[in-house]
Each structure stands twice: as C-alpha cells, then as structure tokens.
Amino acid sequence: MENQAWLAVFNSQGEAGLSILDQSAFNDLFRTAETLFKEGKLKGFGEIHVKNKTRFSAAFGRSIPLDSPVINRMYEIASRYEGFVQIHTMGGVFGGYDEISAMADRYPKALTILSHCLSGTPPLLLGRLFDKHPNVVCEISSGGLMHLPPPVGGRIFNQDGLRPEWAELIERHPTRFFVGTDPCCGLEGRYGELIEEIRRDFLPYLTPATLRRVAYENAVERFNLPSP
C-alpha cells in the first residue's frame, strides 16, 4: 500500500504538497524511517504513486516529478541503508523512463522497484533500463486478467500463458523480476485466486531456473530474507 504520510499530504494539499519537503508529515516520516532502518525493521519506501493519472484514477491520480525534493530524500535514506524505493508510474503513457534512469544513476546503492513493471511501458523500454541500471527491478502484479478484463488486462500474461515478448525479457534478465499480487481495488478477498492465476498462467512458462528466481530467490537475495 501507499505510504500513509504520502497519502495524508496528498489528501490535504493535493499533488503540489507532495513536493514540499519541510512539513510535519514528512519530517515525522523520515525520522521514523531512519530509526526503523537502523533497527533493521524497514527495507524501503513505497508504493509511491508519481504519475498515475488515467480515466480510472480521478480520486487519487497525480502527476509529479520523480526527481522532487521529497522523493530524493527517500532515495537518500534508502541509499544509505541499501534499501528500496518502490514507485508507481504509467511509464510509456505519461513518461517516466528518463526520470527513473536519472534516479538510478544518482543513487546506485538504492534499489528502484517498478510497480506492475511500469504500467503502459513496452518490454523493450524496460529492457533498456535493465541493461543500463543493475539497481532497477520490477514486480509483475496487475499483469494478468484479475485486475482488468480484456482487452486491457493480460498485459504480461493471460489464460493462454506468458506473452512471448515478456518471456524473452524475463529470461534475459531473470534477476530483475518479482512475483506480485496487488490485492486491491475490490480484490482484497480474492488473494487465493490471484495466486492461482500466477501459478497457472505465468510461472509454468518460465524455464525452471528462472521460475525459481522470479518466484522467491530474487526476493530472498535482494531483501535478505530467510531461505524457504
């Protein structure tokens, strides 16, 4: 879910408030984050909605620069503790590729996680990001049919399996992908179905070594989690 301080500022001040660093909500957020990072109880920041305006997002849509004072502070702290910043942007629809590349260059010790593998972005552009930046990864939630029906849904996989262009990208960059579910937006009670969709329509179409990587090994390594 999106950071509560981020949402509180957006709800009270609109998108302009999300670029104002010196305010109580963000001061409290970053003070708490520093403490939790030091205690090993926090891995990163997110999910941060940056450019998510569509005809479906009137209530919470916004379009602000990724390279803004507040998000730079997130990256500064994440970089210090080798944590992550997870961002939601519409990618190829509203731009964002160059901004992501700039932040990845500026903070090489911070991991950038792209929610939903940058909704609206073709695999070719993601491949260019992965080729250039070892600290950029993505998670595949909302890539199937559960969130949106055809023709919008099934961007990464559908009932016929994994789309060939995505299979090629994942096999070429097996360490850059994570399984994700995103049980939101009316799907809170259908978590089991989301998992079944991934197990049935996505994972079996990967080679065995890549399947293990995407299903759990990447998360274990990147976030220093216990091995299953």
Closest by alpha carbon to 138, among 107, 170, 165, 161?
A: 170
The encoded tokens of residue 186 equal 């009316």
Which pLDDT score, from 0 to 100, does residue 90 have?
64
Which domains, and CATH codes, for the chain?
4-222 (3.20.20.140)
pLDDT in tens, the chain (228 residues): 346 788 888 888 888 888 889 888 899 999 999 999 999 999 999 888 887 665 555 556 677 888 999 999 999 999 999 999 999 876 554 456 888 999 999 999 999 999 999 887 889 989 999 999 999 999 999 999 988 877 778 999 999 999 999 999 999 999 999 999 998 888 899 999 999 999 999 999 999 999 999 999 999 999 999 888
pTM, 2 dp: 0.91
CA distances from 175 to 32, 55, 92, 136 (A): 31, 33, 23, 10
pLDDT of residue 223: 92
Residue 94 confidence (pLDDT): 44
